[in-house]
Amino acid sequence: MVRLPYLTALTTLFSYGILFVFGHLRDFFRKIFDWSKSNNLQGYAPICLGYEDFYTRRLYLRIQDCFGRPISSAPDSWFDVVERYSNDNNKTLHRTEKTTKCLNLGSYNYLGFAAADEYCTPRVIESLKQYSVSTCSTRVDGGTTKLHTELEELVARFVGKPAAVLFGMGYVTNSAIIPALIGKGGLIISDSLNHNSIVNGARGSGATVRVFQHNNAPHLEEVLREQIAHGQPRTHRPWKKIIVIIEGIYSMEGELCKLPEIIAVCKKYKVYTYLDEAHSIGAVGQTGRGVCELLGVDTADIDIMMGTFTKSFGSCGGYIAASKEIIQHLKRTCPAHLYATSMSPPAVQQVISAMKVILGEDGTNRGAKKLAQIRENSNFFRSELQKMGFEVLGDNDSPIMPIMLYNPAKIPAFSRECLHQNVAIVTVAFPATPLLLARARICISAAHSREDLIKALEVISKVGDLVGIKYFPVEPVKPNKVKHLKKIE
Amino acid sequence: MALAMVNVTASVLNWVSSYFDAPTRAVVFGVPIDGHLVVEALLVVVILFQLTRKSYKPPKKPLTEKEIDELCDDWVPEPLTPQITEDMTYEPPTLESAAGPHAIVNGKEVVNFASANYLGLVGNEKITDSCVGALEKYGVGSCGPRGFYGTIDVHLDCEQKIAKFLGTPDSILYSYGISTIFSVIPAFCKKGDIIVADEGVHWAVQNGLYLSRSTVVYFKHNDMKSLENKLEEVTRRSKHPEKVRRYIVVEAIYQNSGQIAPLDEIVRLKEKYRFRIILDESHSFGVLGNSGRGLADHCGVPIEKIDIITAGMGNALATDGGFCTGSVRVVDHQRLSSSGYVFSASLPPYLASAAIAAVDYLEENPSVLSKLRTNIATLFNELSDVPGLVLASHILSPIVFLKLKKSTGTGKTDIDLLDSIAKQALEEDSVLIATTKRSSLDKCKLPIGLRLFVSASHSESDLLKAAASLKRVAALLIS
């Protein structure tokens, strides 16, 4: 949980206040200048009215160079960041030919499959030559290949459910599945920090949506009791069905969800559960099977498990794993299955190969080594950052580590200074996080070696001192340990 | 006893009447106060007192914990999915090779009319080579959204290439075909805006319209008179034309019927009533027009007049993903407010390089377009006399759409009949065609039918074979 110190909250609000005042002043002068110039809209309403894009114009554009940095190599542990320059104070950015090699702490590359892999890439190229880039057809018309059926069986086996279905994009999976499962007269209870794709899917379904406090099982129970007792709004008819939607690892907090408690509550009240394992599948758990394995929950207790292949498997697309009846129903009604182009065959082959490596079916133990490496890396990095005095969120074993920044000026300062020292960091501000809680988010990968992590720690510590984000006291180095070692020698 | 009561009552009455008839006791402000006035004043006070009392409401008792427990125990949810019966299970044909004009299904070679491979780029050597290069350099996935190191230089190159090809200032890439349109529409249309859309648009457009929460008015499929009426009606009713954004949403070639939208008419109406156009060119990009630039090229409309063009690249360009193009303002706005762009991982780099290679091929070989047009014309000709089925698509549309001349009764029996036609054509004549499958979430009411996607790489014998097979099977199954 984030503990926002009082003084920091005041200074952050003050900074945002100054930015808003300046933004409004500039808008005022812009209006005066534009009065004389003719308006070329000719009776059409403008694309953005009034203050709808105030945040974009006056705050985001100032620090635009910290976001959307192009790269010109694979997003591996070290990559080439393209340099950009601006002639008009960051309003437009232009590419140059120069690149800098930086340490990658921002890509979702948990198991290191992002770059060309010795097992996966030859098989991917072979399937590209056999099945070509795309099938140009939907899954039901003529877009199902042998690879797709093979992957669906493999995913079902890996996740621990009877059947699975694939989609070409993780975002579309959520947006198109939730309307197929529940409609008007149903209730969706989702965690307050759920991803935008789940929010869109819930809104598009037409069901009533209620929110429960992040990771708070007692509050979920309270909301459930109240909703079941009162029924649908205004008519008080009983709800047709209730689905609770939660995520495995929340990408902005790095926290694991409290799965056993929440599942216990859901079973007690006979509601259905939907678990979105976009970040946790393949990255946590003893054998990489996700948050269920890590927290000891039986997969039969969760009705629908969803995940994506973008993060741990280095490909693209998403899947849903559930019972055979649910999957058959989805294959008949889900619009993403009936209308969207099927997943590209080389991407399918990449997932098949990556899963085989993780399961050890390729004949080596690279998978087990990768899983052990990412666990070790995450725990080492997190403990070191906490010792240095940073405010780091997230649980142990989770490869995502947000470091709190709070003040809006520290966002570009931290990001640019780290890039200067050849470490590429992702900083996140409003609207992905609440306004006062800006943060820098680090994603650890199994491809990072111990030296990479030590270099990253040095740079982050130096820049953290410069920018002033060590909100907690630094842990002193224990003198007893050193004495103990000396004694043995 | 009774006498005593009577006496008491009489004396009380005497006292009361004497009090009333008493001569004036006091004079206040020149008004003589009689006895009865006091009683009347008392009555008025009582009335006022009652009026100020709150009306009686039974006290609200919240449900006790025990009652809530009972309600929760009693509640029985519906099953998550309805029961699946035997006839509902449908196994699509599984391909064992690339989805080119000839594909291998279940060990047999079939003529493939189910892939929207309009330019025949599936299996093209140059595209495969550029993909292999991209795979070796960048791996498969891009591992991040566009804002967080997911922007790879091939994405930027692809965006510039498409913008240059179409002649627009800029374009933006999306990572999946259908997510393009349902991210673009909510980015521009908010609550309170007005959208006039064709009733035959496909599900992704309908979803985008629903998510935008604007007022949506549908006009009859491809009917310009109906469009004009709706525009007139909407303009009359709208109160603040300067503050309300208004859009017309149409598709260039409709997936659900194969019709082509008359763009010059629509542009004339748009300029008259001051609406903006959102045009979905998924099936017309790389197909219509002398150079494949889409519907604007085909109708001779300058591209600047169309405000927003979106397209999925999973059809003519034989890759995956989508793009949206328009003025600089339009494209820049989407980079921060389009949810499918901001909150999703970016397009895999090898697909972007396949798109660049495909656009290059189209620029260098414009003859492939005339080959496609000849193929469409041949097939159209051959299929004009299939028993029981009638052609419903436009003569230039690469989606050749056949619908039933007479419905067999219910929607379900129609679907079954069409499915059995397709199944027999595949099993007996080795011709793979597609039937329209509607999701239960789709609100489109256009008739279902058989769809054949014509490709430039189909040979004449393929087209004749498909036509002959359809004629034979339709004669057998449609009585």
pLDDT digits (tens, 9 = 90+) for A84-123: 888 888 888 888 888 899 999 988 888 888 888 888 899 9
Whether residue B131 and residue A69 make contact (CB cut-off 8 A), yes or no, is no
Whether residue B140 and residue A203 make contact (CB cut-off 8 A), yes or no, is no
pLDDT value for A489: 43
Whether residue A131 and residue B128 make contact (CB cut-off 8 A), yes or no, is no
Whether residue B339 and residue A200 make contact (CB cut-off 8 A), yes or no, is yes
Cα(B347)–Cα(A318) distance, integer angstroms:
14
Q: How many CB atoms lie within 10 A of CB A46?
A: 14
Residue A484 has pLDDT above 50, yes or no: no
pLDDT value for A149: 92
pLDDT, tens only, B159-218: 999 999 999 999 999 999 889 998 999 999 888 889 999 998 989 999 999 999 899 999
Find the mean pLDDT for residues A168-180: 90
pLDDT value for B266: 92
Whether residue B95 and residue A242 make contact (CB cut-off 8 A), yes or no, is no
Q: What are phi and psi of B265, to 5 degrees?
A: -60, -45
Residue B458 has pLDDT above 70, yes or no: yes
pLDDT, tens only, A422-471: 999 999 888 788 888 888 999 999 889 999 999 999 999 999 999 888 88
Residue A57 has pLDDT above 50, yes or no: yes
Ordered strands of the B322-326 beta sheet: B170-174, B322-326, B308-312, B276-280, B246-251, B194-198, B215-219
Give the model's confidence band at B92: pLDDT under 50 very low, under 70 low, under 90 confident, else very high: confident
B139 and chain A: CB distance < 8 Å anywhere?
yes
Q: Which helix (H) or strand (E) holds B308?
A: strand B308-312
Whether residue B151 and residue A69 make contact (CB cut-off 8 A), yes or no, is yes
Residue B299 has pLDDT above 80, yes or no: yes
What percent of chain B stands above pLDDT 70? Answer: 96
Cα(A390)–Cα(A369) distance, integer angstroms:
29
Residue to mutate among A132, A220, A230, A443, with most B CBs inside 10 A, is A132
How many CB pairs below 8 Å do chains A and B form together?
A: 347
Whether residue B176 and residue A82 make contact (CB cut-off 8 A), yes or no, is no
The torsion region of residue B258 among left (phi > 0), alpha (psi -120 to 50) and beta comes to: left
The mean predicted confidence, pLDDT, of chain A is: 87
Cα(A435)–Cα(A154) distance, integer angstroms:
42
pLDDT, tens only, A4-40: 788 888 988 999 899 989 989 988 888 888 777 666 6
Residue in B closest to A272 by C-alpha? B80
The Cα diameter of chain A in Å comes to 85
Query: Which carries the bigger pLDDT value, residue A474 or residue A1?
Result: A474
Whether residue A228 and residue B348 make contact (CB cut-off 8 A), yes or no, is no
Residue B77 has pLDDT above 80, yes or no: yes
Find the mean pLDDT for residues B343-350: 91
Find the mean pLDDT for residues B394-417: 85
How does DSSP assign A285-303, residue by residue?
STTS--HHHHHT--GGG-S
User: Which of A135, A172, A338 is closest, CB to CB, to B439?
Assistant: A338
Least confident span in A206-210, A397-401, B84-88, B117-121: B84-88
Cα(A266)–Cα(A275) distance, integer angstroms:
12
Give the model's confidence band at A396: pLDDT under 50 very low, under 70 low, under 90 confident, else very high: confident
Closest-CA distance, B391 to chain A, in angstroms, reads 20
Q: How many CB atoms lie within 10 A of CB B114?
A: 30
Q: Using a CB-CB distance cutoff of 8 angstroms, which residues of chain B are in contact with residue A247? A: none
pLDDT value for A142: 81
Tell which B residues from 378 to 417 touch A, by Cβ distance under 8 Å.
none
Residue in A closest to B242 by C-alpha? A45
Closest-CA distance, B243 to chain A, in angstroms, reads 5
User: Which of A76, A242, A325 is closest, CB to CB, to B81?
Assistant: A325
Q: Strand runs (DSSP E) across A222-295, as ranges?
A: 242-247, 272-276
Q: Using a CB-CB distance cutoff of 8 angstroms, which residues of chain A are in contact with residue B442? A: 335
Whether residue B442 and residue A335 make contact (CB cut-off 8 A), yes or no, is yes
Closest-CA distance, B29 to chain A, in angstroms, reads 60
The mean predicted confidence, pLDDT, of chain B is: 87
User: Which of A42, A134, A335 is closest, CB to CB, to B314?
Assistant: A134
Cα(B242)–Cα(A43) distance, integer angstroms:
6
Residue B445 has pLDDT above 60, yes or no: yes
Give the model's confidence band at A477: pLDDT under 50 very low, under 70 low, under 90 confident, else very high: low
Cα(A59)–Cα(A19) distance, integer angstroms:
7
pLDDT value for B64: 82
pLDDT value for A485: 47
DSSP 3-state assignment of B278? strand
Whether residue B112 and residue A142 make contact (CB cut-off 8 A), yes or no, is yes
Q: Strand runs (DSSP E) across B106-193, as ranges?
A: 108-112, 170-174
Give the model's confidence band at A482: pLDDT under 50 very low, under 70 low, under 90 confident, else very high: very low
Q: How many CB atoms lie within 10 A of CB A21?
A: 10
Give the model's confidence band at B24: pLDDT under 50 very low, under 70 low, under 90 confident, else very high: low
Residue A480 has pLDDT above 60, yes or no: no
Cα(A21)–Cα(B465) distance, integer angstroms:
72
Residue A42 has pLDDT above 80, yes or no: no
What percent of chain A stands above pLDDT 70? Answer: 95
Q: Using a CB-CB distance cutoff of 8 angstroms, which residues of chain A are in contact with residue B89? A: 328
pLDDT value for A41: 66
pLDDT value for B78: 85
With beta carbons less than 8 A apart as the criterion, state whether A350 and A114 touch.
Answer: no
pLDDT value for A488: 47
pLDDT value for A312: 87
pLDDT value for A275: 93
Cα(B183)–Cα(B177) distance, integer angstroms:
11
pLDDT, tens only, B267-291: 999 888 888 999 999 999 988 888 8
Residue in A closest to B419 by C-alpha? A141
Give the model's confidence band at B412: pLDDT under 50 very low, under 70 low, under 90 confident, else very high: confident
pLDDT value for B19: 63
Whether residue B150 and residue A139 make contact (CB cut-off 8 A), yes or no, is no
Residue A47 has pLDDT above 80, yes or no: no
Find the mean pLDDT for residues B107-114: 89
Residue A320 has pLDDT above 90, yes or no: yes
Cα(A111)–Cα(A313) distance, integer angstroms:
7
Tell which B residues from 278 to 297 touch A, by Cβ distance under 8 Å.
none
